[in-house]
Structure 1
Amino acid sequence: MRRVSVVGVSGSGKTTVARVLSARLNAPHIELDAIFHQPGWVGLDDEQFSRRVDEATMGNSWVVDGNYSRIQQLVWSRADTVIVLDLPRWRVMSQLLVRTLRRGWTGQELWNGNRESLRNLLRTDPEQNILLWSWTNHAKNRLRYRTAPADPRWLDLAFLYARSRREAHALADTAAGRMA
């Protein structure tokens, strides 16, 4: 396990798990949200995004986290392992609510000067409300990651599934043990 993609629905803990795994494997952590979201929450166009992800994943080892279908083929074609955080909706929503409230309350900078706003929790557009986004995409993303191992393009990938935070950290421990 040298090139790992950590995926899962929004709020499942991808970045947290990727940071832990990155430290244990002594591999760079690549956060796709940090690449995609430019100042003012402006997203990169597909060409720029692909180019930056291409450059970031050229190394021999890395841990990528994120759910961007437009660059999934690029990342997975270079990965040797995909860790899927397959947490139940109630767990994801509770984690996401706590995270969003903390970030909104503290004004924590996320990427490139961007901050989450508590006002966004009142919006009805899933593109602007992370809780609605996660709720509406949960089933679709879970299905996508549960069926991925059957796709002929990914037969050489090892898919590891974690259905809780504890299982995810156990996977990270196992991976670190294999590399030692």
Structure 2
Amino acid sequence: MPEHPHRILVAGASGAGKTTLARRIAAASGLPYQEIDALFHGPDWTPRPSFVDDVDAFTSQAGWVTEWQYGVVQPMLAERGQLLVFLDYSRARVMRQVIARTLRRRLRREELWNGNREAPFHTILTDPEHIVRWAWRTHGTRAALVQEAAARNPGLEVVRLRAPREAEAWLRRAFPSPR
């Protein structure tokens, strides 16, 4: 890991905890954080036309933390990043987390990005892009994408974490609290 990485990506399956860890890294490091979903999703879940330009602007800064997702910008992010933290959690863990998160958001009617809210949970049966189905379908593809990004970007350090306890230990080592 670089001495003081200042362009940090967090990768993993949907529901693995990318956003939570990215926010914690930003808080511990003092780097600005941008939730990439907020840049992507416009009202009514439509992709925002300015998405690529917004990601370009944010990652043109000297330092930042964000999630590594959305194929259209993943190459740019990997090229600009110094450190990619890969949450390579088991499918069982990810599914428990994404289902719990989706239910919580739906029951609380939490606003996510630009007025969007989780769809009724029963749409898991009818919507092939439902986040729970998406997490199941794409879970096994993340490792190959991370490996490819690392091969194409030799300056990108990859830290692979296989469980939340490993993530906690890594975060404490990488960004120790001042005493």
| Equivalent runs, 1:164-175 vs 2, <5 Å | 164-175=163-174
Number of equivalenced pairs: 175
Give the TM-score normalised by structure 2: 0.90
Amino acid at match of 1:105: L
Moved more, 63-72 or 3-12: 63-72
Root-mean-square deviation (CA, aligned residues, Å) is 1.9
Amino acid at match of 2:171: A
Measured in 2, the distance between the counterparts of 1:62 and 1:122 equals: 34
Measured in 2, the distance between the counterparts of 1:14 and 1:55 equals: 21
Amino acid at match of 1:29: Y
Q: 1:176 to 1:105 in 2, by over 3 A?
A: same
- Give the CA deviation at 1:120: 5.0
Measured in 1, the distance between the counterparts of 2:69 and 2:20 equals: 14
- Give the CA deviation at 1:147: 4.5
Amino acid at match of 2:41: H
Amino acid at match of 2:113: W
Q: 1:50 to 1:6 in 2, by over 3 A?
A: same
Query: Greater helix percent: which structure?
Result: 1
CA contact (8 A) 1:87 1:164 kept: yes
1:154 and 2:148 are equivalent in the alignment: no
Q: Which runs of 5+ in 2 are unaligned?
A: none
CA contact (8 A) 1:5 1:83 kept: yes
**Residue 36 of structure 2 aligns with which residue?**
32
- Give the CA deviation at 1:139: 1.0
Q: Which runs of 5+ in 1 are unaligned?
A: none
**Residue 143 of structure 2 aligns with which residue?**
142
CA contact (8 A) 1:5 1:81 kept: yes
